[in-house]
Structure 1
């Protein structure tokens, strides 16, 4: 088995944080949303109580460069479930990310139902420079430990890239008729425990505080060496006590700063995080060092 490691990305000394979870929601080539994408984004804005512009890669680069941060960007491929293509293609993300190598870290969204076709696409995208792949089991309607998905996970493991899985509750579909057809059961983080056993070298991120399965997520991350947790999608003031405690102690080297931008802004997230009383060493790990190590970023020194 050949493990083709991704190319190096340099981490500048002035970078104060790496946001591992941001969404690119608008294409520079076709800024018009489909009806499905528009309904989805409207429902998300209502759920989070925040109006926002759907960002392009250019928008994300400008926002995070001003903040002296890097950010992981991606779209989600829910085409199997919705019949709609990605709002922004993976190739567009990669092409535009190349213009901002000190700010944008590109991830890709692929169809988990595509079998060997998707596995081939993963190898192509990895060769083009993607650093990882975002999955949303509830929106994409699949169990991560379903054997039909294993050729896809094998390709990610082989290429040395990262698999990022949404976990827990989701604002996607919330309030829409029938929850927009989205089933929460697919995003129980215990499904990732099987993945971490069967692909022991696969680098995994569990996205978000995993309500109502927070303890399951903590257990998997504590037990499996390559499983990390990103803290996106929730204001830190709503974090459950167990998550706050493990982020300070046993899992401080596996917690990752993330916002879910544009649903939450870095300013809002960091302001609320500062109220939790973490010392500077732990904050440096969570804001920067853990992600740099996981993503293989190199120091500019």
Structure 2
């Protein structure tokens, strides 16, 4: 489908834009049978919110579609990531899965190497001829090798298609693409555990994320003004309203126990990103 209409500025007057919206919504509706709510890809919602199709149509005309959303994976188009690993058109499926596991192993090798170099540099930088060799490790370092070994394990005995980590990565990706709740993810895990008791499935969503975070795949959550004015960070961390437009930081919530932010930025700190970039054989 031609997507040039996404870049049209005069949304209310352009017939081309209107036709593009019509075809987009028709495709989205055809791929959500039994439901009249879809993800809204406007510049404000950015596929984080579900609305009725008429409401989404209003957003697309009034606010405009997010121009960076070029792969419509939430509305019927195939996900390039899943195509690369699950496509039925692969000439050799076993080879495709094997290559994917090899990539995950390379990632683990890079992480191990980076961790070793960090520890070596830290030791050399603090070295003192009179110091005694240290035999203690922080809990993080103590568990790191165990986490890597655990991640490399086959999903079940004789499995050559998935390691424990590669399966978790794919399952978390599908959760994100499909919009699963944490409860839905946990229910699927319980079903898989009951059906395949010998497989090394995580016990829950939190368990799966714990393995990822332990291996260094982590990020920081920063609350954001719904109008993109400011971050609730550093000097603004304690504010409940945007310092520029006075928009509320929180969604309307009936429960006083837990407030839900309107928007959240997932921040990947620069230093670990650069370390990951230069420790990899493919990206250095």
TM-score (structure 2 length as normaliser): 0.28
Higher relative contact order at CA 8 Å, sep ≥6: structure 1 or structure 2?
1
Q: Which has the higher strand share?
A: 1
